Amino acid sequence: MLRTKSMRWAATSAFVFGLAFSLSAFGSSTCQRCWDSCQTRYDRCIASGENQSTCGYNYRQCAIGCRCQIP
């Protein structure tokens, strides 16, 4: 019986780890798309001749909106 419990625990742990790993991979691609969007907005802002501090502020606000870990 002890072996069955330990096997069940190991299987459950492996499943949870795999699930967390796959969700983190999905999350990072979503974050990357968000960061890329912020960078594109920043580049367009600079190219339009806007003040760098304004573009930087808008970039930070966009990045905060991504709700992702800062790269």
Write down the pTM of the prediction.
0.58
What single-letter amino acid sits at 25?
A
The 3 state secondary structure assigned to the chain is: CHHHHHHHHHHHHHHHHHHHHHHHHHHHHHHHHHHHHHHHHHHHHHHCCCCHHHHHHHHHHHHHHHCCCCC
Give 45 or 22, the one with higher predicted confidence.
Answer: 45
Contact 58, 48 (CB under 8 A): no
Give the pLDDT of residue 69: 79
pLDDT in tens, 17-43: 454 444 444 456 889 999 999 999 999
Give the C-alpha separation, 38 to 61, whole Å. Answer: 9
Residue 16 pLDDT level (bands cut at 50, 70, 90): very low
pLDDT in tens, 49-68: 999 999 999 999 999 999 98
Listed by start position, the domains of the chain span 2-66
